[in-house]
Amino acid sequence: MRIAIKTILIAATLLCALPARAALNVLACEPEWGALVRELAGDLAKVYQATTALQDVHHIQARPSLIAAARRADFLVCTGAELEIGWLPVLTRESGNPAIQPGAPGYFEATRYVTLIEVPTRLDRSEGDVHPAGNPHVQTDPRSIAKVAAGLAERLAAVDPQNAAEYRKRYASFAARWQQAIERWSREAAPLKGVRVVEHHRAFSYLFGWLGVEVIGYLEPKPGVEPSAGHLAEVLKLQQTRPAKFVVRASYVDPRAAEWFSEHAGIPVVVLPFSVGGDERATDLFTWTDELVGLLVKAAK
């Protein structure tokens, strides 16, 4: 009897101990944060990516598979600033998982580490799909990624203290490589300074702010509102006074508006990957930013 109890106790202890030794389960709302976790955690984390770069992250549905992933997650990495407001609250509420509730150490919002731009002065839905805290698409500026990486490494270390040293070591290596890459991208992108473009959605504001690219108009009349014929004609008028060199859209959006504009304005369309996986060459954070800079430089020539 004693032996039986002992065996059961040992078995129970082993079972309880098992999850602690397994990799940290990370639910990344967007591919860029999934890629960043892979850089900083390597094999220490098992990353489940909620969305792909070919999906509009404003309009994701809280699918059963995502609720199941939220249930299993030890750590959640999202953009925040209400980008995921249509679906993330359902995932955290339905998951029954206290580790990833807003405010818990396992709930990480990248936009908290970056100063947001384009903060609306008027909060009114008649202005379209506005985000009260500002433009949430911070990932397109590699300097933002650097800031988020610093915060993320520390948070990973706090959530998984056993491996804190490893996270810090990996962060140090990443930060050094990333800083070198930023310097290289800055040099390569020098010709983009002052280049004028037309953009579909305010998706690359941070990237353009960094590179000094000037956006003369948007195909969307208001954030999140579908381009209309009347509005496109208005943007086309701008093209006559301050001509843009090309029109930019993220690879996940409907191509028709940009194609219409390109045809009527006689300028090319540049399709940029909005995140890692947005085209076949953007396989990690480095190759993705290579792609962003490379495509723009090529188009500006």
Residues within the interface to another protein (CB under 8 A):
51-52, 54-56, 58-65, 67-69, 71-72, 80-82, 85-90, 93-99, 101-102, 109, 111-113, 115, 119, 123, 125, 129, 132-133, 146-147, 150-151, 154, 168, 172-173, 175-176, 178-179, 224-226, 252, 254
CB of 298 to another protein, least distance (A): 25
Smaller CB separation from another protein, 113 or 185: 113
CB of 194 to another protein, least distance (A): 22
Smaller CB separation from another protein, 178 or 195: 178
CB of 31 to another protein, least distance (A): 12
- The widest CA-to-CA distance across the chain, in whole angstroms, is 90
Smaller CB separation from another protein, 89 or 243: 89
Smaller CB separation from another protein, 195 or 272: 272
SS3 state of residue 174: helix
Smaller CB separation from another protein, 10 or 123: 123
Write the secondary structure of 94-123 as one string of H (helix), E (strand) and C (coil): HHCCHHHCCCCCCEEEHHHHCCCCCCCCCC
Q: Measuring CA to CA, how many Å separate 259 from each of 198, 248, 254, 265? A: 12, 10, 10, 10
Evaluate whether 200 touches 131 at the Cβ level (below 8 Å): no
Among 144, 157, 160, smallest CA distance to 19 is for 160
Smaller CB separation from another protein, 53 or 244: 53
CB of 240 to another protein, least distance (A): 29
CB of 205 to another protein, least distance (A): 18
Helices 31-41 and 164-188, interaxial angle, to 10°? 120
Residue with token string 């818990």: 104
SS3 state of residue 12: helix
CB of 218 to another protein, least distance (A): 17
Q: Measuring CA to CA, how many Å separate 24 from each of 18, 21, 51, 77? A: 12, 9, 19, 12
Smaller CB separation from another protein, 43 or 124: 124
Return the bridge partners of 151, or none. none
First to last CA, the chain: 82
Helices 31-41 and 142-159, interaxial angle, to 10°? 60
Strands of 214-218's sheet, edge to edge?
A: 214-218, 196-199, 246-250, 269-272
Smaller CB separation from another protein, 29 or 267: 29
CB of 136 to another protein, least distance (A): 11
CB of 60 to another protein, least distance (A): 8
